[in-house]
Amino acid sequence: MLSKTEIFEDIVHILKNDYAGFQEKAALNKPETISITDDMSDIDFLQAVQRYIYAFNDGHLSFTSHQVKQPYRGFQVRRFENALYVTKVFGEERLQVGDKIIAINDESIEEAAARYSIYLQSNVLERQLWKNVLPFAETITFIRNNETATITLSDYERPAYIPEYSYKQLDDNTAYIKLTDFSQGEPIQRMVAENELALNELSTIIFDVRVNNGGNDMFYFPLVSYTIDHTVSTAELGEPDEHMYTNYTARNCDLWIQSLSDYLTQPLDDETRSILEQEIEKYKTNYNIGFQQINDNFQYTFEPKGKVQQVFILTDITCGSSGETFVKNLRLSPKVQIIGRGTMGILDYFNKTTKNYGDFELHYSISKLNEKYYKNDTGEIPDIHIPWTPQHLIEDVDLQYVLNLLHQRV
């Protein structure tokens, strides 16, 4: 097993040689500012490497551990103006959804934002990632019903992630479909099959990907046919000069082949399985040849289905990776309208792979877009931007906007 200094040296080497974004982000690479020793604690090591990683400002680049637990404070927050609002509670029973946090460790939210700016990943208030800051919070001061209180925070068990692929018929003509990731093909295929008769008769679909943790683009393909009105191939998705590039180093090819092979262990239809197998062969063919423009060796054709006339996609900053390509690709159809807030903005660098170090893991991208199409701090911009406010904690403002729009069109 590698020592902590050896792991850090290897990470620096990977970012310089294997990471797809290093050329553009070389000026942000400052390993000399990070002090690593073999006798430092695991949590100090984890957080030190994360400080190094956060400087690259790439949502697909991270350093994590399944064994070393960072403090989890038992709640989630979102910023509005100069306060943080509790959006969910997972254990911290002294807090309620809607509580207004005005200080962290006796610093105002503005002061805390300045201190932890590298962790927030954005200067746009509604896009700031305060989940990266809460582990450093020892105390918070909050307001509820015009009364102010300060509490010392505790550490809680992080809740398990439970994916959701749900279909809800809102009326005879409208369906609401919630998808929290595209990591599994079979549940989505099953959802489509179980509701195929209804899908074929709909006039409106509302997709909710406001929380979508990404996965594999191919797993949302069964949904695309209900959003188009003519035959479309994968070659038509994107602009003519929207080229993509992969860094085919030996390490990257080995890791990505393993990732694709892991997908093949899932229940898959024959077409999806064939595409994955072709991808594996592509990486074997291009083994260790360095950066190359991606030339897909397969074409997937979407045939229109059903009678859908309008599609709404609800988005937010917590929609990332393949969730963003879902938005990016579907919005090419004139039927589609995007409602909400910009997505995570992590498509500049993609095809995330993982280097395992035992107790720790480095996650990084091996492919990138043409720089002309980078959207790091905007994500996929909605057609109708609905700013996040505390009112979202009282009602589903975004969904209600769409329902009101549908009512007006009747």
Summarize pLDDT for 365-381 with one digit per residue, the tens. Answer: 999 998 888 888 799 99
The model's pLDDT over 202-228, given as tens digits with 9 standing for 90+, comes to: 999 999 999 999 999 999 999 999 999
| Helix ranges (DSSP H) in 200-269 | 221-224, 250-263
Same domain, 312 and 379: yes
Pairing relationship of beta strands 107-108 and 100-104 according to DSSP bridges: antiparallel
Same domain, 146 and 179: no
d(CA 125, CA 85) in angstroms, rounded, equals 12
Q: What is the structure's pLDDT at 295?
A: 72
pTM of the model: 0.93
Structural domain total, the chain? 3
Domain boundary among 45, 64, 83: 64
Kindly report the CATH number assigned to the domain that includes residue 281: 3.90.226.10
Same domain, 262 and 403: yes
What's the rounded mean pLDDT across residues 314-342? 96
d(CA 390, CA 259) in angstroms, rounded, equals 40
Give a yes or no: residue 159 inside a domain.
no
Same domain, 325 and 375: yes
Same domain, 97 and 10: no
Helix (H, G, I), strand (E, B) or coil at 255: helix
Q: What is the structure's pLDDT at 243?
A: 86
Tell me which residue range forms the domain holding 100.
75-152
Same domain, 81 and 139: yes
Same domain, 52 and 189: no
The model's pLDDT over 283-310, given as tens digits with 9 standing for 90+, comes to: 999 999 999 998 765 678 999 999 999 9
CB 33 within 8 A of CB 386: no
Q: What is the structure's pLDDT at 298?
A: 63
What's the rounded mean pLDDT across residues 34-42? 97
Same domain, 254 and 169: yes
**Per the structure block, which two tokens stand in for 327?**
């938005």
Domain boundary among 152, 180, 201: 152
What's the chain's average pLDDT?
A: 95
Same domain, 99 and 219: no
Same domain, 148 and 171: no
Long-range contacts of 387-394 (CB under 8 A, 24+ apart): 387/126, 387/341, 388/78, 388/80, 388/126, 388/316, 388/341, 389/80, 390/80, 390/85, 390/98, 390/100, 393/85, 393/87, 393/97, 393/98, 394/98
What's the rounded mean pLDDT across residues 325-336? 95
Same domain, 234 and 115: no
Give a yes or no: residue 360 inside a domain.
no
Same domain, 216 and 310: yes
- What is the C-alpha radius of gyration for the chain, rounded to an integer number of angstroms? 22
